[in-house]
A and B are shown apart, each in its own frame.
Chain A
Amino acid sequence: MGIRLMKGNDAVVFGALMGGCTHFFGYPITPASEIAQQAAYWFPLAGRHFLQAESEVSVINMLYGASSAGARVMTASSGPGIALMGEGLSYMAGACLPAVVVDMQRSGPGLGNIWPEQSDYNMVVKGGGHGDYRTIVLAPYSAQEMFEMTMKSFEIADRYRMTVFILSDAYIGQMMEQVSIEGIPSESGKKDWAVYADAQSRSNLITSIYMNIEKQSEHNRKLQKTYEKASRELLEFEHVATEDAQVVFVAYGICARICLSAVRSLRRLGLKVGLFRPKTLWPLPEQEIKQFAAAKKTLVVVELSSGMLASDISLYANGATEVLHIGSFGGATPTVTSLVDRIIEHIGDRHA
């Protein structure tokens, strides 16, 4: 065990090495390039592989190849790069290939800018590629979680034969914090479905095409079953002072950090405010939201987008309680003071 002061972006690479990742394929894009740069330094030191590809399209297909051959693989990118990977992600889902992909969200649409947003939510959580597939989405909010979540994501990816996304943002990646390097390093076991170029695995086939309606529907049903199982088993979230709260912030990533400060300030003022933080965005904790709604707690979704998470929360709340949205764009983040003022105003209105 050891403690380091490190950026979220660096912690991802440490987590990957602890999680048994042997192959990193990357293509530069701010604010994710640091991850590739750190991987280029650390992977060879650890006897593992780093390769800079010619495009994100190639990156995802290199992951496809190495994953087919049984390796634990990863990449890191940001909005435009993840969008280019869409087809490949879908192929990996169709062929049931495990991989880990980090999205350090930046502003969009288009080239946007390099400052944080959380506007890749729909693309990543709903699946940016074609077809009926899912990816598991983890949402770290500290350098420590960048390390831990990346580390465990390789086991999860192998277990469900799915892509695990680490959906983060430029702030969480840039921020330096204490990271305690702990846990038991893991390694990929032999996979009975992989193509190892040997006699034993010779009959194995990696494909996503079924030119037969019956077979394709059977395959898709199997995928849906896996998703259903994963969504039951993987759910993770954190409650901060929600029990007696009248108002509950719902946020992930950098917004959850800002909300945490706002909750403390509001509690000091005697206001009953809490924070609910989904640590998995797919699966999204539906039951918790329903319980908040049934208890008539006002839900305030804070995110760096027009309300992508908020629309899912509203869906689950299903009109049973009020769902407010506080958003911002283009790299702007809400300040703690602005959140505090907004909640005071809201509670004031309520009780006026």
Chain B
Amino acid sequence: MPDVQIQYSKSASMYQLFFRKENDQKTTHYCPGCGHGTAQKLIASVIDELAIQDRTVFLSPVGCSVFSYYYFDTGNIQCSHGRAPAVATGIRRTLSDAIIIAYQGDGDLAGIGMTEIVHAANRGENITVFFINNAIYGMTGGQMAPTTPIGVKTLTTPEGRSKSRDGNPIGMCELLASLQAPAYIERCSLSTPKQVLRTRLAIKKALDYQVRKKGFSFVEILSPCPTNWRMSPLDARAWIAGELEGDIFPLKCFRDVPQEIQPDSLSVIRPDIVTLLTKDSILKTSYDGPPRAPKYIKIAGFGGQGVLSAGELVAFSALEEGFNVSWLPSYGPEMRGGSANASVICSDEPIGSPVVDCPNVLIAMNNPSLELFENSVTNNGIIVLNSSLVERKPRRTDVKTYAIPATDIAKKAGLVSAANVVMITALAAITGFLHVSTVKHSIGNVLRKKLYTDKNLEIVENTLSYLREKEMM
């Protein structure tokens, strides 16, 4: 004998004693001849070789490998059935230097988890997925998997998988290779010692890509399940070579295009959050004058008349003048037919219901709005109507009506969409419940298109001239 001592030891990234396991802490729980054990030993040895044990987070799936965390001396997370790529995405967004391994069976990945794997691959997540394809649902006792070949008998295909009933086995590598983002996709096999060594090379390349931030890597491993195939371990390996590796699951590299992953620059700059969130906050003046009557305002018109922003303008102005305010957009059946309305309440008292059922101010921008809401106005309430479009006078005699040709005034100034500003200016000027100066000040804050601020201010002045001319203020 030459002077050689053979020492059997596990990779450092595998626990030497499987302390999380109840019995027999020296062996895995996999059946004799199972491919999971082989694949996991290969992965552990590559983790050692790349010196990434501390940085590795291993995701155990649902399936026979659910207890992978018994074996891997790395960070471990057990995931729900099929969702490991989504879990990996969450981790990727959190730990930029982690080496994330999703290890999934064919039921897990190609059945229930099809959505998650496709989208993670499509985003080009810098993660590594090891796809253990044993063409069967192992853990649940041998039912058909998405990868079971045609004709193969399983517990749920007692007469064999039928193409017409069950469809063809799915080639995941082929499918993922139709996406642009993945960096590396290869199918390997554990059928023979030679193939096992090739598999190790693929595992190494996949993890190396992740280490070097080259993007999404995916290695499919054809793997024996002697128990559910009802074969001896040796026959099982031979069956892979004879039946799976041929036309159904050809062994090859489908993609090898390392990507440049953009470094995640986001979390580097963290501005002061309070400064950011209070940047353009409002100066609310505290009001200590005599009590003011609450206003329950309904503003209604067709979509495009700026009904919602008119409400916002009132609410914003009232807030600046020290009112409590609420603004509620139409959010109910009345929105059908293109009509919109906003409920605005301005009150010295804290506001209860934000819904205005009985307004004491109705701003009607078009005919249907008057029809719909006239009767709901309270006794002695106010109706301000857009006389450019509303053809009739209110029937109610117990309310005050102000007719303002808002659309015409706005159109004359060249900004027909500002009829809402005319109406709110009129409301403020006529009732005096808001200062026109506050409304003017609020315009810049409320209107999204800052471009039109000057135009709107001009329209406020035009409205005031009109009101003076008609002696309405």
The reply to whether the CB of A207 lies closer than 8 angstroms to some CB of chain B is yes
A198 touches B116 (CB 8 A): no
The reply to whether the CB of B53 lies closer than 8 angstroms to some CB of chain A is yes
Q: How far is the CA of A286 from the CA of B268 in the complex (A)?
A: 46
**Which stretch, A66-74, A153-161, A223-231, A319-327, touches the partner chain B?**
A66-74
- Within the complex, the shortest CB–CB distance from A127 to chain B, in Å, comes to 16
- Within the complex, the shortest CB–CB distance from A203 to chain B, in Å, comes to 8
Interface size class on chain A is: 35 or more
Cβ–Cβ < 8 Å partners of A63 in chain B: 90
Q: How far is the CA of A211 from the CA of B93 in the complex (A)?
A: 31
B86 touches A65 (CB 8 A): yes
B333's partner among A65, A209, A331 (CB-CB below 8 A) is A331
The reply to whether the CB of B133 lies closer than 8 angstroms to some CB of chain A is no
Given contacts A53-B86, A257-B354, contact A47 B267 (CB under 8 A): yes
Chain B, residues 89-102, CB within 8 Å of chain A (1/0): the string is 11111110111000
Q: How far is the CA of A31 from the CA of B91 in the complex (A)?
A: 28
A3 touches B282 (CB 8 A): yes
Given contacts A115-B332, A174-B329, contact A181 B267 (CB under 8 A): no
Given contacts A66-B90, A68-B87, contact A175 B354 (CB under 8 A): yes
A88 touches B83 (CB 8 A): yes
The reply to whether the CB of A276 lies closer than 8 angstroms to some CB of chain B is no
**Which stretch, A15-23, A132-140, A292-300, A306-314, touches the partner chain B?**
A15-23
Q: How far is the CA of A2 from the CA of B54 in the complex (A)?
A: 45
B87 touches A61 (CB 8 A): yes
Secondary structure dominating the interface of A: mixed
A177's partner among B270, B282, B327 (CB-CB below 8 A) is B327
The reply to whether the CB of B451 lies closer than 8 angstroms to some CB of chain A is no
A47 touches B333 (CB 8 A): no
Given contacts A69-B94, A261-B352, contact A175 B328 (CB under 8 A): yes
Q: How far is the CA of A115 from the CA of B328 in the complex (A)?
A: 13
A23 touches B94 (CB 8 A): yes
Cβ–Cβ < 8 Å partners of B269 in chain A: 47
A209 touches B94 (CB 8 A): no
Given contacts A62-B90, A258-B352, contact A206 B55 (CB under 8 A): no
Given contacts A2-B278, A5-B325, A185-B274, contact A207 B87 (CB under 8 A): no
B273 touches A195 (CB 8 A): no
Q: How far is the CA of A68 from the CA of B92 in the complex (A)?
A: 11
The residue in chain B whose Cβ has the minimal distance to the Cβ of A17 is B273
Given contacts A57-B83, A66-B90, A69-B90, contact A197 B98 (CB under 8 A): yes
Q: How far is the CA of A195 from the CA of B100 in the complex (A)?
A: 11
Interface residues, chain A, CB within 8 Å of chain B? 1-5, 14, 17-18, 22-23, 25, 31, 42, 44-49, 51, 53-55, 57-59, 61-71, 73, 87-88, 91, 95, 115-116, 170-171, 174-178, 181, 185, 195-199, 201-209, 211-212, 254, 257-264, 331, 333, 335-337
**Which 3 A-B residue pairings sit nearest by Cβ, starting from the closest?**
A65-B90, A2-B281, A2-B278
